[in-house]
């Protein structure tokens, strides 16, 4: 089994960290929207104290992915491998920007959610 590229791994780590940062606010709203409820949903608010830790992890992971995708030259690859194709790098960049935008919306949700909910 091959290991994922560092770029892909750091993009995934950034997305997971952004989900962790938004757990206190977005996850309860999503759970109630889909019909899952109960007293335990209110307990997710306790995760708010970890917001800044998850935010720092997400920023670090996305920063590393940006460095690997844009600032560091592409590594030399053997011919006929996936990393030798320019389309692979392009797909990684598209995944990076789309994941970054979604993560930004999740991370900033505690600031705009009160205005949307009334």
* Whole-angstrom distance, CA of residue 48 vs CA of residue 111: 13
Mean pLDDT score, 72-88 = 74
Confidence class for position 12, pLDDT limits 50, 70, 90: confident
Q: Are the beta carbons of 91 and 4 closer than 8 angstroms?
A: no
pLDDT at 99 over 80: yes
For residue 97, the model assigns a pLDDT of: 92
Tens-place pLDDT, residues 16-72:
888 777 777 777 777 777 777 777 776 777 777 888 888 888 888 889 889 988 888
The answer to whether 56 and 12 have CB atoms below 8 angstroms apart is: no
* Intra-chain end-to-end CA distance of the chain, in Å: 49
* Structural domain spans, the chain: 6-117
pLDDT higher than threshold 60 for residue 115: yes
DSSP helix/strand/coil, 115 = helix
The CA-based diameter of the chain, rounded to the nearest angstrom, is: 57
């Amino acid at each position: 089994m091959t290991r994922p590229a560092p770029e892909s791994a750091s993009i995934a780590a950034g997305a997971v960290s952004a989900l962790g940062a938004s757990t206190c606010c977005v996850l309860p709203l999503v759970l109630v929207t889909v019909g899952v409820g109960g007293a335990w949903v209110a307990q997710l608010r306790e995760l708010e104290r970890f917001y800044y830790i998850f935010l720092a992890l997400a920023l670090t992971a996305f920063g590393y992915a940006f460095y690997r995708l844009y600032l560091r030259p592409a590594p030399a690859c053997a011919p006929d491998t996936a990393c030798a194709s320019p389309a692979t790098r392009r797909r990684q960049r598209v995944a990076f920007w789309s994941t970054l935008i979604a993560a930004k919306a999740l991370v900033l949700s505690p600031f705009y959610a009160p205005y949307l909910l009334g």
